[in-house]
Amino acid sequence: MAKIEMLTRGDGLRIFMKDCPFTNKVMVTIGTLAGSASDPPDKLGLFHFFEHMAFQGTVTKSAEQVAELLSRYCISYNASTGKLSTQYYGTTNKRNFAKMFEILADIYANSTFPEKEFCKEREVIKNEIAMYKDKDGHLAFGNLARILYRENPARQSALGTSESLDSINRETLIRLHKEFYSWKNTFIIVSGRFEKDELLKLINSNFPVDFENVAPEKKSWSDESDDPLIKKIAVIEKPQREKAIILLGCKTPANFPDKEQLILNLIANLLGQGGSSPLYSELRQKRGLVYSASTVIYDERPLYQMMVFCAETLPKNISEVKKLMIKIAKSHPLEEAKFLEAKERMKDHYECYPEGVGEWNQIIAGIIELGEDVLLLNNFTETIWEILDSITFADVLAMRKKYLTSKRLAFSIVKPV
């Protein structure tokens, strides 16, 4: 399999290439290492607003022309505002690769944020905020982050509020673009079927060399992993609901080395992933208390990381489900045989991942955010297997004992009024 190549241009622009000759697709991601974690306190939602406005016209194209070209030359396209990066991406076939790259680059580098589009797009985002307020899972997760974290940006929504959006104007976006979209802060990821020489010509044409560009000041935040909880439980009551959502979560360090990260993933797998897991078996299969139950790792490392046990249930079952979730998280007996099976399942997973162009772009972007060496992914499967082989059952028990404790665990519940 072709290896990932990385080039750093003299002006700091970083380019990551992964040739995947087995596909006819090619995916391009153009991103800046800045996201909603960098929103000013009085302008929450700024980076997300910027992402929306980037599609509303460039120096040479109107919003309508941008939309028409994206629809014509992309199989799919979108943009996303994370805590630590903002990314613009698209997928197409090899034949349309150059056209797609040019329009994505134009959006990223040459957006003009037309004044006439501001009011309309601000209302679009307010509709988006309203949409998420009606999603109980989103509300429960946001509430959980706010009782686990005191200052970490994990507690704030990338969308902002209606009030904060009203404080954002065109001049604010122009300043943000100049500061955070410099080439030194920009990365380009291309995976799939493409010609390297063509790609480099496209990059140099659409991202002219600029030795005067300046990287923004790097920000850092504490992951607060050892700080006390703000509250043990947060409850939201909503009208016209039939079910309750229960989340039980704890913070873990966001800068775990690879071995500790895999131990954490093993704990989540053992306790709450799959139909034979204790969480699913005890809550649904044995007692019929829930429709769904699972354990997930929510993270944007190196900013924050949480292990979260999730369940959906009828309101009458809330008390019993809570007690069982606590018991399963803290003290349900784990078996070494199940631990060995979980390691084999993880090996099976990583043997097939990453594979598609979307998976490659996603994992490369994640490593860039972490500030780690992307080229280590060239031995990804072998490295993961080697680390998994080194993990013992005692390692899993020790980490569980350290992090899944009464002092660290908190509930977030959304239920009917």
The correct answer on CATH 3.30.830.10 for the domain covering 4-206 is yes
Task: Point out the residues of the chain with pLDDT beneath 70.
Answer: 1
Helix (H, G, I), strand (E, B) or coil at 220: coil
Q: Which CATH superfamily is domain 233-416 in?
A: Metalloenzyme, LuxS/M16 peptidase-like (3.30.830.10)
Distance (Å, whole) CA 333 – CA 133 = 38
Query: So what's the pLDDT on residue 1?
Result: 62
Distance (Å, whole) CA 244 – CA 133 = 15
pTM comes to 0.96
Residues paired with 250 in a beta bridge: 307
Query: So what's the pLDDT on residue 330?
Result: 98
Name the strands in the sheet holding 14-19, side by side, starting at the edge strand that comes first in the sequence: 4-8, 14-19, 186-192, 25-32, 86-93, 76-81
Cβ neighbours of residue 311 closer than 8 Å, sequence gap 6 or more: 245, 246, 279, 283, 289, 290, 292, 293, 321, 325
pLDDT in tens, 162-180: 999 999 999 999 999 999 9
What element of type H or E holds 111?
none
**Phi/psi of residue 276, nearest 5 degrees:** -100, 5
Beta strands in 239-337 (DSSP E): 244-251, 290-300, 304-313
Please spell the DSSP secondary structure of 96-109, one letter per residue: GHHHHHHHHHHHHH
Yes or no: say if 364 and 235 are a contact pair by the CB < 8 Å rule. Answer: no
Cβ neighbours of residue 194 closer than 8 Å, sequence gap 6 or more: 17, 19, 26, 94, 97
**Structure tokens given for 224:** 């607060």
CA neighbor of 181 nearest in space, from 87, 79, 300? 87
Query: So what's the pLDDT on residue 2?
Result: 82
User: For the chain, which residues make up each domain, given as ranges?
Assistant: 4-206, 233-416
Yes or no: say if 202 and 102 are a contact pair by the CB < 8 Å rule. Answer: yes
Residue type, 70: L
**Angle made by CA atoms 78, 255, 136, in degrees to the nearest 5:** 50
Yes or no: say if 29 and 89 are a contact pair by the CB < 8 Å rule. Answer: yes
Per-residue HEC secondary structure of 21-41 comes to CCCCEEEEEEEECCCHHHCCH
Answer yes or no: same fold for 4-206 and 233-416.
Answer: yes
Helix (H, G, I), strand (E, B) or coil at 217: coil
